[in-house]
């Protein structure tokens, strides 16, 4: 039986009682972005004292190497006099702070750059304004608000797509059904949220071909939000030239498997507990994102692991430089580097997709 509910949990339960079970995508969206009780209204979710730690919080080296990627891509574009840089869901602005440390050293780059953040959370916007107070920030809530100038565009998304809502479908007795969240009534008249299957079946011909004949009880996840966003971003790049860099955990090919998960205080918890107070994510389908880019005649470069990507950008050399400048922090620097690139830690689980206009091969995707 679930614990004492949150205010958002009560709102969700009332919605289900009034209108019936809801999709997992609706549940995720409410839990993460509800205007009052959504998870991303809390700016203290990152770091040791929060629920999870992202790569930029582990070491400055991560953001600095992203800065190197941005700089080399700008140069590959011909060092345009005007270009836009967009970060998706920048959190506290840590990645961009570190990236800008590198970008400052490139002649003419900062003067050419328009810095955009896709950010819907006002608490996070306040922190970003404070941490990047010396820069002009342009905030947008959707891609349509991105400046309409026809200038080159570079897009960075670190651990962004995994938080976009997904739908789940499960095969039962040879048929596919959408997985929904409903309510079960217990003694005393209390209701608890529970997973179940829609009575309606999903036509097999709308499923990816390699999924249709999966075994019974198999689960397939689909992020319409992620695919839709990638389509929008790809259209922008196709029109303006540039590149998209996506770093996240996920899988290379479309496949079955249940990856929807919840984290609180660095521990996995029940996805149906404490709505608005837990982080909800799912692994992303890199093949589906690459397909959207290819529809716009963009190049989807070969997927790299995070370890490969950071090694090729020079994390070993950067670590040596930091150690030389900070000899009393040798162990911390080596430990952080290891966490980012070690295959048994973040190095293999996290992958890097680079998509670019067809006349561009951003380093290290050559």
Give backbone dihedrals phi and psi of 253, rounded to 5 degrees, phi first: -120, 150
The fraction of the chain above a pLDDT of 90, given in percent, is 90
pLDDT value at 49 more than 90: no
pLDDT value at 50 more than 80: no
Label residue 45 by pLDDT band (50, 70, 90).
Answer: confident
Contact 81, 162 (CB under 8 A): no
Query: What is this structure's pTM?
Result: 0.95
pLDDT at 1: 46
Lowest model confidence (mean pLDDT) among 181-190, 282-291, 318-327: 181-190
pLDDT at 54: 92
pLDDT value at 3 more than 70: no
Label residue 279 by pLDDT band (50, 70, 90).
Answer: very high
pLDDT tens-digit series, residues 204-238: 888 999 999 999 999 999 999 999 999 999 999 99
* Across 167-190, average pLDDT: 91
Label residue 112 by pLDDT band (50, 70, 90).
Answer: very high
User: Residue 263 forms beta bridges with which residues?
Assistant: 268, 279
pLDDT at 188: 65
Lowest model confidence (mean pLDDT) among 1-5, 63-67, 246-250, 291-295: 1-5
Torsion angle (degrees, nearest 10) of CA 307, 310, 311, 312: 120
* Across 9-29, average pLDDT: 97
pLDDT value at 330 more than 60: yes
pLDDT at 185: 83
pLDDT value at 359 more than 80: yes
pLDDT value at 189 more than 80: no
Helices assigned H by DSSP within 210-329: 224-240, 286-295, 306-313, 315-325
Rounded to 5 degrees, what angle do the CA atoms 300, 245, 269 make? 110
pLDDT at 46: 76
Domains of the chain with bracketed CATH: 41-165+222-356 (3.40.50.12710)
* Across 69-74, average pLDDT: 98
- More confident call, 48 vs 93: 93
Q: At 127, list the tokens.
A: 């922190």
* Across 159-168, average pLDDT: 98
pLDDT tens-digit series, residues 113-154: 999 999 999 999 999 999 999 999 999 999 999 977 899 999
User: What mean pLDDT value characterizes the chain?
Assistant: 95
The CA-atom distances, in angstroms, between 297 and each of 244, 293, 357 are 14, 7, 8
- Integer Cα distance of 41 and 304 in angstroms: 33
pLDDT at 53: 87
114 Cβ contact partners less than 8 Å away, ≥ 6 residues apart: 82, 83, 84, 85, 136, 138, 147, 151
């Amino acid at each position: 039986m679930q614990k004492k509910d949150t205010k958002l949990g009560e709102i969700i339960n009332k919605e289900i009682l009034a209108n019936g079970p809801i999709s997992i995508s609706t549940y995720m969206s409410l839990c993460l972005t509800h205007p009052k009780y959504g998870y991303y209204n809390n700016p203290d979710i990152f770091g040791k004292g929060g629920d999870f730690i992202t790569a930029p919080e582990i070491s400055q080296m991560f953001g600095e190497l992203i800065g190197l990627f941005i700089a080399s891509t700008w140069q590959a574009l011909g060092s345009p006099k005007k270009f836009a840089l967009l970060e998706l869901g920048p959190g506290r602005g840590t990645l961009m702070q570190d990236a800008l440390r590198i970008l400052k050293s490139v002649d003419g780059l900062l003067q050419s750059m328009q810095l955009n953040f896709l950010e819907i959370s006002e608490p996070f916007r306040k922190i970003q304004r404070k941490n990047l107070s010396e820069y002009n920030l342009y905030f947008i809530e959707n891609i349509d608000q991105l400046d309409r100038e026809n200038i080159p565009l570079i897009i960075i998304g670190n651990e962004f797509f995994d938080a976009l809502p997904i739908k789940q479908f499960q095969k039962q007795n040879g048929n596919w059904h959408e997985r929904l969240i409903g309510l079960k009534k217990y003694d005393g008249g209390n209701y608890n949220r529970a997973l179940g299957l829609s009575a309606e079946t999903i036509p097999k011909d709308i499923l990816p071909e390699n999924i249709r004949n999966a075994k019974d009880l198999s689960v397939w996840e689909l992020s319409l939000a992620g695919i839709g966003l990638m389509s929008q971003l790809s259209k922008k790049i196709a029109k303006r030239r540039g590149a998209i860099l996506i770093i996240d955990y996920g899988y290379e090919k479309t496949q079955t498997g249940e990856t929807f998960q919840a984290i609180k205080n660095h521990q996995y918890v029940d996805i149906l507990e404490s709505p608005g107070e837990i982080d909800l994510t799912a692994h992303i389908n890199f093949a589906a994102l690459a397909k959207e880019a290819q529809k716009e005649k963009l190049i989807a470069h070969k997927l790299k692991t995070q370890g490969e990507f950071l090694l090729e950008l020079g994390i070993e050399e950067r670590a040596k430089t930091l150690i030389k400048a900070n000899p009393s922090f040798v162990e911390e620097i080596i430990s952080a580097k290891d966490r980012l690139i070690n295959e048994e830690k973040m190095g293999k689980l996290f992958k890097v997709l680079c998509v670019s206009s067809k006349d561009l091969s951003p380093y290290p995707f050559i």
